[in-house]
Amino acid sequence: MLDSMLEKLAQQCGIGDAYENYRGEPKSIAAAARKAILAAMGCPTEDVGEIEGVQHQREAARWRSLLPQAAVIHPGRSSVDVAMADEDLDRTLDWRIVLEGGGQVSGRARCRELAEIERGELDGRGHTRRSLPLPADIAHGYHSLGATLDGGAEVECPLIVAPRACVEPAALREGRRLWGVAMQLYTLRSSDNWGIGDFADLEQAVRGFAPAGASFIALNPLHALFPANPWHFSPYSPSSRHFLNVFYIAVERVPEFADCADARARVAETEFQAELERLRGTANVDYPGVAAAKLPLLRTLYGHFLREHVERATARASEFRTYVAARGEPLRVHALHDAIDERLRAQNADRYWGWPVWPDELRDPSQPGAREFEAANAREVGFHAWLQWIAEEQLGGVQHLARELGMAIGLYGDYAVGVNPSGSETWSDQALYRRSAGVGAPPDKLALKGQDWGIPPQDPNVLKAEGYRPFRQLIAANMRHFGALRLDHIMAIYRQWWVPVGRDATDGGYVHYPLDELMSVLALESERRSCLVIGEDLGTVPREVRQAMEAREVYSYRVLLFEKAWDGRFFRPDEYPRRAIATVTTHDLPTFAGFWSGNDIELRERLALYPSEEIRLQVKDERAHDRRALLVALESAGLAPPVTDGGQDCVALCHAVHVYLARSASALVALQVEDLVGMTEPVNVPGTSHEYPNWQRKMSHTLAEILAGDGVRRVLSDVQAARAS
């Protein structure tokens, strides 16, 4: 009995019971895994009475609420489900929509005349679910729908009216084929940065690549990390996706720097300059060193800002106030989190590693203790809000420059699939995030042992109850300064692999999310921000996601190393889909030089990432086949480079591969900056943590050297010619 009840509750909560693995083989999700996921959702799993109570409560909510928790309509779906008891069928339903921009639309319907879509029974009474048609010309936006039966009490729910599809830039609608350069911002070297690539380096990249014909610069996630904990630096495990990583601020580009004698004097000191040279010279980013150099100077500049602008009520102070008001409660809570985090880590970093272990009075931003801390430490909270303003000023300035220089897209951002469990995003909405589980992936070709990324999942049931507000706010925040946005692991808006804490990644299960509703929010925000959407759809991609991406005009991700037919041949350029971004490799894969040399296979062997020797040998054999197949593909396209005494010249081969990809039918092509200079070491090795310096390795050349290199210039010229043909 208990097992059958748990199975039903799991179904109610969206937990799947089976899936197809990356080889297309059916796999069952163990009952123990489903039970552990239910527990992570906060559901009872042992007491039959409690389980039965939760089941009844959920079923009653489906049938007794006239309107859903949130309603979404779009072309192809212009009606809302309404639920009622059979005895209500002879009643009249009055509805009204309060529009986001003001005004309202209303109407009336006879309940019995509405089309029935489902029947059910609750507590011995018959119930029905019916389809309420709404006008097709309601303006796109976030509205409120209200409904009453025979003039009774009004029930309300959020109503999201979305466009059919996401936005495409005019250049793409006109049929142009664009290209750009992909880079991890922190890896950039320059003679001016402070040991980490920054927004000034990004500006230099735009100025260098735009004249060559590039239409975009694709970036790693720039999400906010932990200023007080620079040892935590993974861009895919941020503190908050609402805000930016302040270590990307170019300190000497902050407007206050030119007027602050104290800051300029400190930077000019011999000792400080020597430290900057050391930071620039390291092979890997020294994040603690960067923090120690930047944060004290930024704090000095903030003090200058308070004295010279806030106290004097200047126009610049007014701009800051406008920014704070516009970013609202999310900014207030994020700045408060960073101020508390900084204070407690200074007291005892080992003890106070994150908000889950903060003193009780500070663990909830809405509680009096957090409010009291904010009032007593207003200057520190203000400092962290000011840092976000400065970061947004600099990033927004680069996007403005990119468009001025003719880039059709400009900056192309990356939205991480989740956040760190101890960051401000989870602190601000603790009901939404389930910290007793982590998001990951079942075993696939890239990670044969499965993956647990250590990021807490959002509960889809809570997400729906909140009217999809958290997703809406996140997408809006991430589109603020980008012409295109890549959604990491887009399958996550359909299903996520939950790994309960304490279990192996292979012992997880899929939890399903409201795909159509989330896609609608994505399309609406894309329209509002004029932002192209790209879905990272590598790995096991359910049919439902493919269909939704096509219907909503979300661009696919096509990696040359994976684009092969069933017989192992590489697809011809004309076989690539148009609505896609094509690239040779990605940050989770070896560089092209690493792929061709087999360096990645040797690296994974050293790191003991192969489950067995048999699999390692299989990967090695597949690589040999892939190298031969790639040469055949290049030769067929008339691009095979000459063979030298030492074999294929990897630099010439990479050049040929880029031109091959540039000829593809895909509307977008991205060149990895590491491949432009022939780097071998990857930036990230999936399945590792401390075993490999993920997210730390810098570029082998400065940005100026890359832009001036004859080989690079030839590649860019040939790619531009191929894209324009």
The residue to which tokens 């390692």 are assigned: 616
Neighbours of 516 (CB within 10 A): 17
Within 13 Å and on the Cβ side, how many CA atoms surround 617?
Answer: 3
How far, in Å, CA of 718 to CA of 716, rounded?
A: 6
How does residue 647 score in pLDDT terms, banded at 50, 70 and 90?
low
Question: Looking at per-residue confidence, does 616 or 227 come out higher?
Answer: 227
How far, in Å, CA of 204 to CA of 436, rounded?
A: 43
Helix, strand, coil percentages, rounded to 5, for the chain: 45, 20, 35
How far, in Å, CA of 673 to CA of 184, rounded?
A: 9
How far, in Å, CA of 22 to CA of 12, rounded?
A: 26
User: What are the residues whose beta carbons fall under 8 Å from the beta carbon of 612, sequence distance 6 or more?
Assistant: none
3-state secondary structure of 415: strand
Global pTM reads 0.95
pLDDT digit string (tens) for 26-50? 889 999 999 999 999 999 999 888 9
Domains in the chain, CATH or no CATH each: 2-61 (no CATH), 75-161 (2.60.40), 186-250+390-724 (3.20.20.80)
3-state secondary structure of 414: strand
How does residue 640 score in pLDDT terms, banded at 50, 70 and 90?
confident
Encoded amino acid at 454, one letter? G
pLDDT digit string (tens) for 548-581? 999 999 999 999 999 999 999 999 999 999 999 9
How far, in Å, CA of 64 to CA of 82, rounded?
A: 10
Query: Nearest-CA neighbor of 251 among 212, 214, 304?
Result: 304
pLDDT digit string (tens) for 321-367? 999 999 999 999 999 999 999 999 999 999 999 999 999 999 999 99
What pLDDT sits at residue 512? 97
Query: Nearest-CA neighbor of 393 among 461, 467, 316, 329?
Result: 316
How far, rounded to the nearest angstrom, does the alpha carbon of residue 102 sit from its chain's CA centroid? 32
Q: What does the pLDDT average to over 217-242? A: 97
User: What are the residues whose beta carbons fall under 8 Å from the beta carbon of 652, sequence distance 6 or more?
Assistant: 641, 642
3-state secondary structure of 664: coil
Average the pLDDT over each of 56-65, 509-518, 629-638, 668-677 and give the range with the smallest value: 56-65
